[in-house]
Structures are given as C-alpha cells and as structure tokens.
C-alpha cells in the first residue's frame, strides 16, 4: 500500500516537472546566432494606440531575408544584428522601415512601432444601364413617352399613367346595366 502511494506521488511529481519543462522550452527562441541580440516590442496604430495583430516583419540583411509575424496582440520577439533593416507591413496600413542601427539600445526590450492607416480615395462613379453616357442620352431623347424608355434588366411598369375616362350615363341606363346581368329569365325566350 505504501509502495503504491509513493509510486503515485513520484509519478505525479515527474509529470509536473516534465510539463513545466516543456512549457519553458516552448518559450525559448532558438534563432539566436553569434553577433545578434534580442529585439522585443509591439506594433500599434499611431492614432488609437491599439495593437495591430499579425503584422509581418521582414528582416533584410544584405541578400538574406527572414520574415516573422507578430502575435494576436501585436507583440514580437526577434533576433537582429546592427546591420539589419526591419520592414513592418500590415493590411490597411502604410509600411514602415526601420534601421536597427538607428534604434536606441534602451528601446531593445520596449520598442513600440507605430503604423499609419492607409487610405485610398476613389473618384465618383456614375453607373448607367447603357454602355456609355451618349447611348443613354440617345435612348432618352428618342423616347416619345417616358414609360417607353427601355432599360436593360428592368421590367416595364405594370401600371399606366393615363387617367381613365369617366363614363357619364343617365340613372335609368345605369340601373338597366346593373340589373341586366342579374336576370334569371332568358330575355331571348319566345313562347
């Protein structure tokens, strides 16, 4: 009984040690090379100061290029050398290039890269149901009646703009017309 209790405690202790070791190994970055140092920081929007998730970081070092991606909070940890150039890009933002030699050594662990929103101004667009404006003008001018303008893809109206003509009849004719339809007997009957 005591042996099995000690065995369970030892097994539990071993599991805890292995799991904690695995977690600490997962946090290590093995990209360190001779002559490089760690650069740690965050990419944020310049106006709102909110983090920009999944920003791409391209490291240029002569002919060599490496690309990294920030996490969902805009944080990054990379190893760079003094001769590297960093290019930060994200969809909807203007790319920013930094020279590592221009970064102050006090900012190596607290670097904050600010990106500016990229705006695209589009000219006004007018959509016609014809190939061009001249074809539209010709169809409009040649139409005799406004209801007869045919626009491709749009059905003709199911109503008419014409005012119905009033029928004036005397009261006896009106009553005759109403009762004529309700007769039960056949008016063409001959005895």
Q: pTM of this prediction?
A: 0.50
State which of 39-48, 105-114, 139-148, 179-188 shows the largest mean pLDDT: 39-48
Residue with structure tokens 């020279």?
Answer: 99
At 28 the pLDDT is 45
Long-range (24+ apart) CB contacts under 8 A made by 121-124 are none
> Residue 117: CB partners within 8 Å, gap ≥ 6?
45, 47, 92, 93, 94
CA distance 176 to 168: 14
**pLDDT confidence tier of residue 34, bands split at 50, 70 and 90:** confident
Q: Which residue's structure tokens are 């590592």?
A: 100
Whole-number Å distance between alpha carbons of 171 and 79: 103
Please tell me the distance from the alpha carbon of residue 149 to that of residue 92, in angstroms, as a whole number.
44
What fold is seen in the domain 36-119?
Immunoglobulin-like (2.60.40)
Binned at pLDDT 50, 70 and 90, residue 109 comes out as confident
Q: What is the domain partition of the chain in residue ranges?
A: 36-119
């Amino acid at each position: 009984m005591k042996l099995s209790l000690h065995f369970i405690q030892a097994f539990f202790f071993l599991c805890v040690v292995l799991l904690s070791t695995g977690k600490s190994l997962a946090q290590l970055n093995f990209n360190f090379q001779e002559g490089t140092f760690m650069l740690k920081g965050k990419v944020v929007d310049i106006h709102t100061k909110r983090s920009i998730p999944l920003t791409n970081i391209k490291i240029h070092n002569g002919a060599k290029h490496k690309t990294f991606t920030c996490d969902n909070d805009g944080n990054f940890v990379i190893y760079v050398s003094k001769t590297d150039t960093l290019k930060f890009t994200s969809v909807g933002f203007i790319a920013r290039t930094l020279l590592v030699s221009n970064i102050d050594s006090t900012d190596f662990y607290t670097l904050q890269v600010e990106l500016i929103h990229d705006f695209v101004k589009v000219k006004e667009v007018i959509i016609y149901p014809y190939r061009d404006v001249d074809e539209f003008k010709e169809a409009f001018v040649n139409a005799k009646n406004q209801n007869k303008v045919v626009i491709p893809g749009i059905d003709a109206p199911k109503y008419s703009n014409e005012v119905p003509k009033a029928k004036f009849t005397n009261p006896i004719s009106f009553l005759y017309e109403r009762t004529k339809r309700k007769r039960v007997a056949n008016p063409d009957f001959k005895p």
